[in-house]
Every structure is written in C-alpha cells, then in structure tokens.
Amino acid sequence: MTDRAASGSSATLARLAVLVAIVALVAALRERAFAANRRENPTSVG
C-alpha cells in the first residue's frame, strides 16, 4: 500500500515537472518572438 502511494506521488511529481518545463519553454519562445517583433517594429507598442 505505501509502495503504491509512493510510486503514485512520484509519477505525479514527474508529470508536474514535465508540465512546468513545457510551460517555461513556451514562455521563453514567446518572449523571444516578442523581442524579435519589437526589434523589427520599434514604433509599435505592446
């Protein structure tokens, strides 16, 4: 019983870590895209 609970929490932590990594990657890519847009159009705001 305790072994099953421990493996379950480990799987949940692993899934959470993957989710956080994906979110961080997407955020970084969006930030790079926005920076590139700002460089090309310095007059546009936002």
Is the pLDDT at 17 greater than 70? The verdict is yes
Q: What number is the average pLDDT over the span 6-31?
A: 92
Q: Which residues contact 37 (CB under 8 A, 6 or more apart)?
A: 44
Please tell me the predicted confidence (pLDDT) of residue 43: 67
Is the pLDDT at 16 greater than 80? The verdict is yes
Retrieve residue 22's tokens: 């994906």
Task: Tell me how far apart the alpha carbons of residues 28 and 36 are, in angstroms, rounded to a whole number.
Answer: 12
DSSP state of 44: S
- The more confidently predicted of residues 42 and 11 is 11
Is the pLDDT at 1 greater than 90? The verdict is no
Task: Tell me how far apart the alpha carbons of residues 45 and 39 are, in angstroms, rounded to a whole number.
Answer: 11
Domain boundaries, the chain: 1-46
